[in-house]
Amino acid sequence: MRVPCPICGSRDSREFYYQGAAVMLNRPDPGAGDGAWDAYLHLRDNPEGETEELWHHSMGCGAWIKVTRNTVTHVISGAVLAREAER
């Protein structure tokens, strides 16, 4: 499996650490309430199709990237730096 790092180019997935759904980028306000924080920390969708995830290029440039991956076909259709991703 190849992951397209926006900095390094196409690299083998063994260079990356998989964090999880990219909802972690959308941190709720500290006062958003228990419901919002519970959802942020624990509740995840299990989509069939395109999903957005956070990967860390831990063995390469060290960038966090937001990867768009299809859970059915495993096609990776895009990757952007997490710091440049739309929130």
Partner 1 sequence: MVELVAESPGGNPPPIEIGGARADWITAETLLWLSNWDDAGASAVAEAMGVGMPGPGEVAEAPGGRLAWVGLDQALWIGAAAAAPVGVAAMDQGDAWSLVRLSGPDVPDVLARLIPVDPAEIVPGRVVRTELKHMQSILIGCPDGAVDVAVFRSMAGTLARDLEEAMSSVAARRMI
What residues make contact with partner 1 under the rule CB under 8 A?
7-8, 11-12, 14-15, 58-63, 81
Which residue, 21 or 63, has its beta carbon nearer to partner 1? 63
Task: State the minimum distance, in angstroms, from the CB of residue 7 to partner 1.
Answer: 5
Q: Counting Cβ atoms within 10 Å, is residue 37 exposed (0-12), middle (13-18) or buried (19+)?
A: middle
- The span from the CA of 60 to the CA of 4, in Å, is 12
> How far, in Å, are 1, 24, 36, 60 from residue 40 at the CA level?
29, 7, 6, 28
Task: State the minimum distance, in angstroms, from the CB of residue 50 to partner 1.
Answer: 26
Task: State the minimum distance, in angstroms, from the CB of residue 73 to partner 1.
Answer: 23
Which residue, 19 or 51, has its beta carbon nearer to partner 1? 19
Which residue, 11 or 51, has its beta carbon nearer to partner 1? 11
- The span from the CA of 7 to the CA of 55, in Å, is 13
